[in-house]
Structure 1
């Protein structure tokens, strides 16, 4: 029954923001605002047939792993849902969540999981690691205000600093928010979101304003933002279409370089605002090292890179292989990849724009890397990968559930088997975790 209070001891962290407890009747309870080891008083907010959800009202006995975070918005803002949990406990929970998902969804036996899963890899930085943050607009007393999604996603939390953001740019967020709040008092900016990207390696700082197409006070916006934040690039990303299916129409340079630059893995990448790039540069380099270790590409081999984006894995593969076929469906990323190949003086890559299944390369492969979106691989993609003569595959995943499902499909298909599964903590203070899987031909 909702509304009643329960005394609960949190047993573990789930793949999500909540801690897991069990009621006296054995029903699972997902508890908001608690960490593993806490004993709490919690109010039931949902009572389903197989589980309940509850909200912590009082911490009766704090966990030994509970810490005081540097951010006062932990538990209010949705950006660092595990911010009250020690780093050691976070790493252990992420590794355990991967293991349990492989057993539950992938149907791997516990002894197989013990053999396959490697200790979690991570960077030294647990705060100040993000190279990108995004802000959402909301209207307060008739004026636009910017903030971050709260634990309640319908609410926007106004902030003027973020300890997760690159510590080399401590005033960037406050400066951008202040400038845009000032501009919104006299201009209708039509903001849909604002992205800020920073690099401690190149000193690049980009402000990207996402708006609908139409009129826009370009000169005023660029002048005020330049004076406030001193960015190296200010761009406007124009989008159109229905709200749930909006697409980028055009990227307009308002000031500076018009793109963002990062140094990574012995090379340089230049990215337009709509293109995806891992928010943790040092963590991304761990992914690259694991992929290269798994594939061990040779100078006479051909590589295939599916869902290649702007070239995070394509560039290092091209430096070591004879030829790379790289497939990407998102137009801005395809254009960025072509530019990045020119910047790095690499001419042994065939860039293929389109869906990974429909545009699967005609060339055969010796080694293959896939880095699909959260939805994972389509069954057809697994069949196509199996049809190649590749001897090794590296699968980079951002979702344990779809990864476990796909690994089960690979095993059932019979051509490839996982030989090493390595979790990587790219997102400290959150439940998210990347994983690199090395699959070898049977």
Structure 2
């Protein structure tokens, strides 16, 4: 088929239509390309295809600094210019609000604010994860491909923090050397780097069992001079793997980052936004939406290690912060103590089961990609909060939840602001300001 890519969908593929009007998701094409494509699947309502030849390249196509764009899974939009990426992310959010949230175009135009972004389109990631593959007794490490079974050997990643650009090659070389003489039983390897604190952590994910701790720590220290080397011990089936222990091999035992006014320590299993500068935009939008005052009580649900908890505690009389993931709860308590704050109740447990109560002035919620459970929306609606800041990483579940809030009638959206935390990808964060109706 010869197809013209009309727009970028919420995914790696461009979207085109056949002469008969059928939607085709095209891998390897960007908006504006005219391509020859071959079908990879043909369903009743849409098809999937792969671009085999670019007949007329789009004027929005650029030459990326990475040769693995389209092969590696880290930068699926890397061949698309930044301005077009930002426009596509806004449009994907608007589309989800209309299709799933049932907002009218007029409502969307009133609510959706211009997308916020930072200047770094490359070199913004403070973390990369390397996949591991063992074949014929030889250990291979690299980036995950678009094909999940593919491991792509790289010396550097243009998305990763530029001040630590040599770390990937050094770590993969050291671990490959070690893995060829003994079984490290590695599952994956995480590298975190901060240009602000100069911290560099290498995290080795392995099952429980024996491990050459001292030898691995010594070789990695020679190769990359990390500030921390840890081993994350896991247990259970791959589909339900859980963290048993975060074991110190060398250095500080955690990674340090400065974000906004705070310096936070994050353990390897804990979530932290991979784009520190853009995460500061999230904090700014949350604080602007809530306008917390010195007499206010705040609730922070799905709070992680405290990205929003700490700035709220600086501005409010009291913060109740809820997080279910054990390593993040420990990081949260440590960060509260390090910050010298005594007005935070750090609660470990599920946000619904451990809901702190209905006495609140402001509330922030940053749920996982699945969004909010119906029970959580009911509990939030039952609080006395005047304003809610909803931080979302998925436009579809956000649109669904906003529709539920509107049906409940307690809160209404007053501003919806996309934030480009992940340049070169289709992912986008969104901060919604909900005010009491």
Q: TM-score, normalised by structure 2?
A: 0.99
Instruction: Give, in angstroms, the shift of residue 235 of structure 1.
Output: 0.2
Report the Cα distance in structure 2 between the residues aligned to 1:362 and 1:96, rounded to whole angstroms.
37
1:171 to 155, 166, 175: 166
Report the Cα distance in structure 1 between the residues aligned to 2:179 and 2:162, rounded to whole angstroms.
28
Query: Partner residue of 1:80?
Result: 75
Instruction: Give, in angstroms, the shift of residue 400 of structure 1.
Output: 0.2
Query: Partner residue of 1:3?
Result: none
Query: Partner residue of 2:315?
Result: 320
Report the Cα distance in structure 1 between the residues aligned to 2:279 and 2:165, rounded to whole angstroms.
22
Instruction: Give, in angstroms, the shift of residue 158 of structure 1.
Output: 1.3
1:221 aligns with 2:216: yes
Instruction: Give, in angstroms, the shift of residue 363 of structure 1.
Output: 5.5
Query: Partner residue of 2:27?
Result: 32
Query: Partner residue of 1:180?
Result: 175
1:280 to 260, 275, 282: 275
Report the Cα distance in structure 1 between the residues aligned to 2:98 and 2:346, rounded to whole angstroms.
37
1:362-382 CA-to-partner distances (Å, cap 9, x unmatched) read: 361100000000000000000
2:262 to 247, 264, 267: 267
Query: Partner residue of 2:298?
Result: 303
Written as runs of structure 1 = structure 2, the 5 A alignment for 1:119-158 is 119-158=114-153
Counterpart secondary structure, 2:26: strand
Counterpart secondary structure, 1:168: helix
1:297-352 CA-to-partner distances (Å, cap 9, x unmatched) read: 00000000000000000000000000000000000000000000111111100011
1:21-47 CA-to-partner distances (Å, cap 9, x unmatched) read: 001111100000000000000000100
Report the Cα distance in structure 1 between the residues aligned to 2:380 and 2:290, rounded to whole angstroms.
14
Counterpart secondary structure, 2:129: strand
1:201-244 CA-to-partner distances (Å, cap 9, x unmatched) read: 00000000000000000011000000001000000000001110
Report the Cα distance in structure 2 between the residues aligned to 1:7 and 1:149, rounded to whole angstroms.
30
Consecutive unaligned residues of structure 1, counting only runs of 5 or more, are: 1-5
Does the 8 Å CA contact 2:69/2:78 hold for their aligned counterparts?
yes
Counterpart secondary structure, 1:412: helix
Query: Partner residue of 1:438?
Result: 433
Consecutive unaligned residues of structure 2, counting only runs of 5 or more, are: none
Does the 8 Å CA contact 2:230/2:249 hold for their aligned counterparts?
yes
Please give the root-mean-square deviation of Cα atoms over the aligned residues, in Å. 0.6
Instruction: Give, in angstroms, the shift of residue 135 of structure 1.
Output: 0.5
Number of residue equivalences: 437
Q: TM-score, normalised by structure 1?
A: 0.98
Report the Cα distance in structure 2 between the residues aligned to 1:112 and 1:327, rounded to whole angstroms.
32
Instruction: Give, in angstroms, the shift of residue 142 of structure 1.
Output: 2.3
Written as runs of structure 1 = structure 2, the 5 A alignment for 1:47-58 is 47-58=42-53
Query: Partner residue of 2:418?
Result: 423
2:328 to 330, 333, 358: 333
1:405 aligns with 2:400: yes
Instruction: Give, in angstroms, the shift of residue 141 of structure 1.
Output: 3.4
Does the 8 Å CA contact 2:357/2:383 hold for their aligned counterparts?
no
1:112 to 107, 111, 114: 107
Query: Partner residue of 2:383?
Result: 388
1:65 to 45, 60, 69: 60
Q: 4+ residue stretches of structure 1 with deviation over 2 A?
A: none
1:81-120 CA-to-partner distances (Å, cap 9, x unmatched) read: 0000000000000000000110000000000000000000
